[in-house]
Structure 1
Amino acid sequence: RLVGPLGRLRGAVGYLSLARTARARAGAGTAVLPLLALLTALTTAAFGGSVLAGVEAARDRAALSTVGADARVDATAALSAATVDRVRATPGVRDVATAAIDYDVQLDDSARRLSLAGVDPASYARLSRHTGLGPFHATDLRPKDRAADRTTVPALASPSLAGLFTDGRLDIWLNGETVTLLRTAEPATTPALSDDYVIVDSAALARATGVRARPTTLLLTGDHLDASALREAAGPDTAVRLRATERARYADSPVQSGATGIYVAAVAAGAGYALLALLLALARAAPERLALLARLRTMGLTRAQARRLLVLEALPQAVLAAAGGALTGWAAIRVLSPGLDLTALALADAQAPIPPSHLHTAPLSLALPAAGVLLLALGVATLQAWWSARQGSTRELRAGDGAAP
């Protein structure tokens, strides 16, 4: 369909390239074999790359769920304002969200216990948006009318506590006072706590109980954080955890490192198979191409036109292989993802509960192998054109050598 329109344009390079490609596809069954090999190789590389990307994403989520931020400082006692300021001034720290955490809060009419964190709504909302752990609006934790009921405190509650709230309210016993929590949102996760949690505004809680609780946990946002500097700033009786350190720990298990190695080998094997298939296909056609260029040079074909001819002739099969490989890789991932849980491959153990991590399509895993095939095909064709330009035409033009264009 493209040969006809190109034949009406000026110049014969585009017409010749497509005419030769169409003739090769119609008259040689062996020309399909490199394409099938490329499809298999690209599918393998795309699937393996998506598995590796899924493993990395699962480890990132697990580390983030465990730490709750880029770094975390937990103290056995309340932290002073000076300590918070020193930590905030540590190099690499961009933002600090404070939390006063009580892991043993009693319900007013039950023996059940829950964990409660008093936070600053503005900084904690920024942290939740940065981490993606239960994003909310700061206004969800602020009372609509402070003078109406000083003992009712807006709260974020975990889904596991939903059954305890009656008409959205729950009474707890705290600091000798009965405090009524008014559930305003129910995020599935939150940075400060992992399960059975309630998040409230520390100022609103202080008005309800008459006691202002100082922070016991600092959740830090930043880049290139130094654990030693944070420990020095936080002082004794504190524990410092970094998200990057937690992330690295998940890859230490032999099962996880071995599984990762298997898929890395699969990607490398797929890439090598694609390279071999493409090089063999181009090498098989090299003598005939060189003879063609020699004949066309006698008809006035320039070196630049010779390069364009070889590149355009190699382009259709490379484009078809790249597009087909990306499509079959995407289809393989879609078919296998419901039954493939990457959690066991990604994590040796995780302190925080991690939801199942199923295989998802990684765009780079589809695009990079396809782009590599295109670049390799164009590079080899360009190299062939350059080599043929350096050679004389005598040997290629011997009687019976090659085929007429």
Structure 2
Amino acid sequence: MLDAVDSARIRAARLAVGGDVRIAASPGHTVPEAMSEAAAALPGVRTAVEVWTDDNAFLFGTVQGSTQVAVVVADPVRYAELARRTGRGGFDPALLAPGAGDAPVPALFSSGLARLARPGGEPFRLHLDSGGELRIRNAAVVDGTPARPDGGGAVIVLPAGPATAAALPRRPGPDRWFAVGAVDEDRLRELVRATAPAGQASRFRVETAAAAAAGLGENPLQRSAGRLFWGSLAGALGFALLAVLLTLVRAAPERAAVLARLRTMGLRPRQGLRLIVVEALPQAVGATVGGAAVALAAVALLGPYVDLTTMVGAPVPPGLRPAVRPVLVQALGLSALVALAVFVETAVSGRRHITTELRAGDQR
């Protein structure tokens, strides 16, 4: 459960940010080229892309006549990689390859906008807020896009290049920068302050998926639920250890007498310890494997009906998938705990004098 909550929270945070890291310029400003290049060179950055956005464009040729749309312009290859790693709006960058001559510019339409497209109405006319105008065609439909984390209903993604550059005369550069990778937030903020124009550092907002995920988990209900799960795990381990110790203590007199007789026949202390461990481990390992199998089976049966939205702190699709690693870690930890208990009990009982154990065995 906790592993699924953490994973879902990270995915929700990445979708909200549009990647692992985002630098957003305030309206009317752009991200300087020196800033985006320096940020892309930071350790941990795997994919980085500059994005130009326009929230006040109009598309002509829809069933409504004209529709206000949000436009995203980015390098198709890098933006497709960003979408793939983010898990929203993945597409083949070849779909945005420009045509020959005066062919309409290929574009990606959001699913909400595609429903408004007039059948056979291509090409469309796109009027940008900058004053430029483009003839575009619907190359594919996507369910979302990283640069619009709010999931706006009418979004168009255009390829950066000569075909679109002519329509953007008033925008000298991109106003968004996205990246995927393990980027140090403090180092990125320091870089933004150092590369921002004089006195304009406050016009650039830095957001990270790690900070967004931490914010999702600040709800007291979520923290209490997490502590409840850890408390139940600690209680289960305590009862398991108690069961093992009671079993060992109950059989301790007989085991000590057997070890004493075997030592009179030449059994060494280390060999006796190995003998006890080999005797106790099969039932412990069997119980651990059985418990792990029951846990995985319970997730497979009940998982599709579990809604983690409340614990995650953001809307997520229902369902809980089996995760082998957390179950395996707990199973191996329980086996190690049992082995340690057996070792300690055997070491303590092995200190008793052989003659005393033999006499006790004769009396029994």
**TM-score using structure 1 length:** 0.76
Amino acid at match of 1:79: V
Name the residue aligned to 1:177.
133
Among candidates 248, 256, 259, match of residue 282 of structure 1? 248
Q: SS at 2:359's partner residue?
A: coil
Q: How much does 1:389 deviate?
A: 3.9
Name the residue aligned to 1:224.
184
Question: Contact 1:330/1:361 (CA < 8 Å) preserved in 2?
Answer: yes
Superposed counterparts of 1:253-264, under 5 Å? 253-264=219-230
Among candidates 118, 121, 142, match of residue 73 of structure 2? 118
Q: How much does 1:120 deviate?
A: 0.9
Name the residue aligned to 1:323.
289
Q: Using the alignment, how far apart are the partners of 1:123 and 1:59 within structure 2?
A: 25
Amino acid at match of 2:124: D
Q: Using the alignment, how far apart are the partners of 1:55 and 1:378 within structure 2?
A: 31
How many residue pairs align between the two structures? 344
Q: Percent identity?
A: 36
Name the residue aligned to 2:301.
335
Q: How much does 1:72 deviate?
A: 0.7
**TM-score using structure 2 length:** 0.84
Name the residue aligned to 2:317.
356
Structure 1 residues 265 and 118, CA, compared in 2 at 3 Å: closer, same or farther?
same
Runs of 4+ in 1 over 4 A off after TM superposition: 89-95, 167-170, 210-213, 399-403
Name the residue aligned to 1:21.
none
Q: Using the alignment, how far apart are the partners of 1:129 and 1:247 within structure 2?
A: 20
Name the residue aligned to 2:267.
301
Structure 1 residues 204 and 361, CA, compared in 2 at 3 Å: closer, same or farther?
farther
Q: What RMSD in Å do the two structures reach over aligned CA positions?
A: 2.6
Superposed counterparts of 1:143-292, under 5 Å? 143=98, 145-147=99-101, 149-150=102-103, 152-165=104-117, 166=119, 169=122, 171-174=124-127, 175-184=131-140, 186-194=141-149, 195=151, 196=153, 197-203=155-161, 205-206=163-164, 209=167, 211=169, 213=171, 214-222=173-181, 223-226=183-186, 227-232=188-193, 233-234=195-196, 235-292=201-258
Question: Contact 2:39/2:191 (CA < 8 Å) preserved in 1?
Answer: yes
Q: SS at 1:193's partner residue?
A: coil
Structure 1 residues 176 and 274, CA, compared in 2 at 3 Å: closer, same or farther?
same
Question: Contact 1:154/1:183 (CA < 8 Å) preserved in 2?
Answer: yes
Question: Contact 1:103/1:115 (CA < 8 Å) preserved in 2?
Answer: yes
> Cα deviation per residue 1:293-352 (whole Å; 9 max; x = unaligned)?
1122223323232122111111111111111100111122222222220111111xx5xx
Question: Contact 2:124/2:137 (CA < 8 Å) preserved in 1?
Answer: yes
Q: Using the alignment, how far apart are the partners of 1:202 and 1:373 within structure 2?
A: 56
Gaps of 5+ in 1: 1-50
Gaps of 5+ in 2: none
Question: Contact 1:230/1:240 (CA < 8 Å) preserved in 2?
Answer: no
Among candidates 324, 330, 336, match of residue 369 of structure 1? 330
Amino acid at match of 1:74: A
